[in-house]
Amino acid sequence: MERVFDYSKLKDPQYFRDGRLDAHSDHRYYASVLDMEAGYEDFKESLNGLWKFHYARNYKAAVCGFEKTDYCCKDWDDIHVPAHIQMEGYDVPQYANVQYPWEGHDEIEPGEIPEYFNPVASYVKYFTVPKRMEGKRLFISFQGAESGLALWLNGTFVGYSEDSFTPSEFELTDYLVEGENKLAAQVFKWTASSWCEDQDFYRFSGIYRDVYLYTIPEVHVRDLKICAIPEETLKKATFDIRLHMILAETAKGKAVIRLAKDGNAVIEEELEVKEEVSHSWTVDAPALWSAEEPNLYDLTIEIYDAEGTLQEVVPEKVGFRRFEMKDSIMTLNGKRIVFKGVNRHEFSSVSGRCVSEAELRKDLETMKQNNINAIRTCHYPDGSLIYRLCDEYGLYLIDENNLESHGTWDTAMFTKDHSAVVPNDRPEWLGMMLDRVNSMYQRDKNHPAILIWSCGNESYGGKDIYEMSQLFRKLDPNRLVHYEGVHHDRRYNDTSDMESQMYTSVEGIKEFLANDRSKPFICCEYTHAMGNSCGAMHKYTDLTDTEPLYQGGFIWDYIDQTICKKDRYGKEFQAYGGDFGERPTDYNFSANGIVYGNREASPKMQEVKFNYQNITAEVGKTDVKVINKNLFVNTDTFECRVTVARDGHVIRQTVLETHVEPLSQETYTLPIPQETLGGEYAVTVSFHLRQDNIWAEKGHEVAFGQYVYQVEKAEETCAKSVKVIRSTHNIGVQGEHFEVLFSVLSGGLVSYKFAGKEMLKSIPKPNFWRAPVDNDCGNQMPARYAQWKIASMYLSDKALGDELFKMSMLTAQEGEHSATVSFTYNLCTIPAAKCQVSYEVFGDGRVKTTLSYDPVKELGDMPEFGMMFKLDADYDHVKWYGLGPAETYADRKKGAKLGIYQNLVKDNMAEYIVPQECGNKEEVRYAEVTDRKGRGMRFEVTSQNGPMCFSALPYTPHELENAMHPFELPKVHYTVIRASKAQMGIAGDDSWGSRTHPEYLIDVSRKLEFSFWFCGI
């Protein structure tokens, strides 16, 4: 009976495939060895390119009968395939997190779909069967279409498929005609399956992955299953293959199996071909696959027909590795594994979820360069290529099934009414869920990089998800199964082989494991990387060293989900949720990446790289303890370099030979003499690649440690005198090349001229505020600390109620080589508070500035304690001796090194999509802000005060805070300098409530005092 498309079925979760072929492995096949070596796929014909297109806002508005052969679509608009229609000018991208994208527009429940607005994309492709494919069975593969796809050929309905993220394939043979054929498809944005596709991502639709026609030879490997598992001793391995063949009625033949390593044959055998071919071999001393050493074997299967004619060549990569649970610990090749992972959305700021190979390789190179060893595909299967690349580059994968129904159980957590939760225990959803499990497994099963299957994300619990986990186990007993949601619903606790939680604090993890040690614990999401974040991440990574059952986590997330857009003046920027006028939306929550939307690393990556490094160098004055956390690699794989710097300048470099076995440690004497000259010394021990590899060049640094010590030296003193000039309204202090003016009327330092040039654009003032970071907004810091913003903006040298022109009573204390002027500022706080600023001007032009404050208990701590200066924007070069090169904060500075660095003021504006605090530099000894001629100001800490925090930005904290996009910031007129004793940490356990850890707050238990010098240069 002829199949007919019925749109009304799209609301039925039991209607998810119709005429779609069974899923199979993603192996490639070629007509000859030469074709294989050239990468030429003779059996395939790409349909990527321009298709004819019609957009309708709902099904009623779609063109009825467009699929029929007598309906000409050749004058329709063109659209590119693959692409999301929202990235091609139809509909708009919509970012939503938990809420469903139709909420507030359609009042519907599972079993219904939006009717009024539910875009329908109608595609038509006219094609002629290539001559090489004529007379053969012809198939079509859609590698990805969101979210429902109906297909016709020459007016006949071919089939229907849901599951946006795995291939949908159909046979076209019976519907072909000679000459031109009309292929028609409709893609529906929201179907029944959309209730289970409520991922935290941009909502798109359309044919967004490759489309191609393909034929098969008379004897064809339809499905290939590889199992390459070492024995427990790792000295031998079992190598199994299973071929599911498609054979012509009378076809017979043979399969020649070759397995080789580095061109040397390991196995070569001929097998008889039948519908199912299975065989097993033993491989001695297998080279094992891991992220540290991604050893791959080359499998080649040549298929011949009964006459001995080659039909096809199937190449595949094989990785031997043993992943298992032993004594409640996950082990790889017998060693306890630690996941140093990220969650990675498949995303491009240019093309949405249509990601190029170049972008994929850029991602994996960046990850490997920064010691990331694992990816969780969140929260759906990615395009097939990334799995092959992870095999090649060496990255562990949690391959996650396409399931998230967060919007159905978000409120149920509080109401305890789970009747609307899907899939839960509802039998009508089970078939769809099992089909998705099978589709992902069959496509991806041969990739050694995949260690764990995941049932999905944030969909509560229940029987259906348990059955999904059981299907994974039935299909694949050699991998483990993951699901976080059992944390909220323990009825089917065995759904997940490991305890997986999100954003649990380190103390919470310890508490859990103190009571339940039946499973290993991972954080499938942690250290939420929204904006300026990832503070105190080291607490999690340190825990992996002390708690065997805690086996790491996956940062949320890898890349900002932002989209290139132009502002009203034509300047490109990275847009986030709501910027396309879409509602509802979750705004800038779309951007939580450790790389920006342009795929360049954000400053957070510096800390990630250090926390994830596999070699720890505990450096002392004369020796270094090298702790090798690698599971399989000796430290002699890397070149160990020892560098000594005095006051930031490198004075010695040498190489240290190390030979620390995996999971071992050794202490080495440093091959450097003891330094006797006075100064500050930094000894750095670092490890570097000895040769180029696929993800980095020779010399790339993979790990480091640093030790800093002092050798006493005499302090310089000033012998020059100053001249003090007193008048009614001002006090002046003059020296050989400078002049300083203090205003009685204005209540502050109003002028600092050096070499005849005025340096200050406004009065330096105490500052207690920073532009809130996203984490601050999430934990209500702006409300909790609001008085400190007001105190910074409106402090005054006059008491409240004083006359406008009342003058301050100033006195200048004169010394032999200096003069001191002090101001007291009243802070607009309740209860009232005060602070003092004193300026001691020396004869060489240096001004020692001291800010002091007696804490008022009721006011608590403040975001920052320091001084703010404004210089002309011509002073746009920054050089500092402190931690770098990237920005650092009290709770995010372990990955930085002490050294001398320089950049431009604009470079300190991190590209966070919402302007916020950025560019801070911790442990700064001195900093210079100059113009292009090298003239400007130097800021330096006093020896008694210790290092300072320092930043030089084009904007004040208040200007940053007032902008929701970079283009909203004013034109640059100033360089704003903040020198401070401390700034509170930026936090990062999560971005919706977790506060800065107490040890990274400013201590107000005693008097605060901060001193530093500034001087013209």
DSSP state of 195: G
Q: How confident is the model at residue 329 (pLDDT cuts 50, 70, 90)?
A: very high
Provide the annotated active-site residues. 458, 525
Strands 847-853 and 1008-1016 turn out to be antiparallel
> pLDDT, tens digit, for every residue of 508-555?
999 999 999 999 999 999 999 999 999 999 999 999 999 999 999 999
> pLDDT, tens digit, for every residue of 398-456?
999 999 999 998 877 777 788 889 999 999 999 999 999 999 999 999 999 999 999 99
Tell me the pLDDT of the chain averaged across its residues: 96
Burial class of residue 980 in the structure, from the number of CB atoms within 10 Å of its CB (0-12 exposed, 13-18 middle, 19+ buried): buried
> pLDDT, tens digit, for every residue of 477-490?
999 999 999 999 99
Task: State residue 676's pLDDT score.
Answer: 84
Q: How confident is the model at residue 813 (pLDDT cuts 50, 70, 90)?
A: confident
Q: How confident is the model at residue 694 (pLDDT cuts 50, 70, 90)?
A: very high
CB atoms within 10 A of CB 1009: 15
pLDDT greater than 80 at residue 1008: yes
CA proximity to 144, closest of 123, 119, 163: 163
Rounded (to 5) percent helix, strand, coil in the chain: 15, 40, 45
- Extract the tokens encoding 792: 């910074």
Task: State residue 816's pLDDT score.
Answer: 78
pLDDT greater than 60 at residue 470: yes
Task: State residue 607's pLDDT score.
Answer: 98
Contact 432, 13 (CB under 8 A): yes
How far, in Å, are 852, 862, 960, 987 from residue 781 at the CA level?
Answer: 24, 10, 16, 11
Contact 664, 628 (CB under 8 A): yes
* 605-609 average pLDDT score: 98
Rounded to an integer, what distance in angstroms lies between the CA atom of residue 610 and that of residue 601? 14
* 700-706 average pLDDT score: 98
Q: How confident is the model at residue 808 (pLDDT cuts 50, 70, 90)?
A: low
Q: How confident is the model at residue 1 (pLDDT cuts 50, 70, 90)?
A: low
Rounded to an integer, what distance in angstroms lies between the CA atom of residue 185 and that of residue 73? 12
* 238-256 average pLDDT score: 91
- Extract the tokens encoding 305: 């027909």
* 9-21 average pLDDT score: 97
Task: State residue 717's pLDDT score.
Answer: 82
Task: State residue 945's pLDDT score.
Answer: 77
- What is the share, in percent, of the chain residues with pLDDT greater than 70? 99
458 or 251: whose pLDDT is higher? 458
Rounded to an integer, what distance in angstroms lies between the CA atom of residue 336 and that of residue 321? 13
Side by side, which strands form the sheet with 948-953? 765-767, 864-872, 974-983, 948-953, 921-924
Reduced to 3 states (helix: H, G, I; strand: E, B; else coil), residue 421 is coil
566 or 801: whose pLDDT is higher? 566
pLDDT greater than 60 at residue 803: no
* 309-328 average pLDDT score: 98
Task: State residue 505's pLDDT score.
Answer: 98
Task: State residue 30's pLDDT score.
Answer: 98
Contact 829, 791 (CB under 8 A): yes
pLDDT greater than 90 at residue 873: yes
- Extract the tokens encoding 480: 């483990």
Rounded to an integer, what distance in angstroms lies between the CA atom of residue 459 and that of residue 438? 19
- Extract the tokens encoding 418: 């789970």
Rounded to an integer, what distance in angstroms lies between the CA atom of residue 46 and that of residue 220? 20
> pLDDT, tens digit, for every residue of 267-305?
999 999 999 999 999 999 999 999 999 999 999 999 999
Task: State residue 1012's pLDDT score.
Answer: 97
DSSP state of 125: E
Contact 682, 671 (CB under 8 A): no
pLDDT greater than 80 at residue 78: yes
Strands 264-272 and 253-261 turn out to be antiparallel
Rounded to an integer, what distance in angstroms lies between the CA atom of residue 282 and that of residue 271? 16
pLDDT greater than 60 at residue 759: yes
- Extract the tokens encoding 33: 């060895």
Reduced to 3 states (helix: H, G, I; strand: E, B; else coil), residue 226 is strand
> pLDDT, tens digit, for every residue of 939-974?
999 877 789 999 999 999 999 999 999 999 999 999
Name the β-bridge partners of 146: 206
What does 817-852 look like in DSSP terms, one character per residue? SEEEEEEEEEE--SS-EEEEEEEEEETTS-EEEEEE
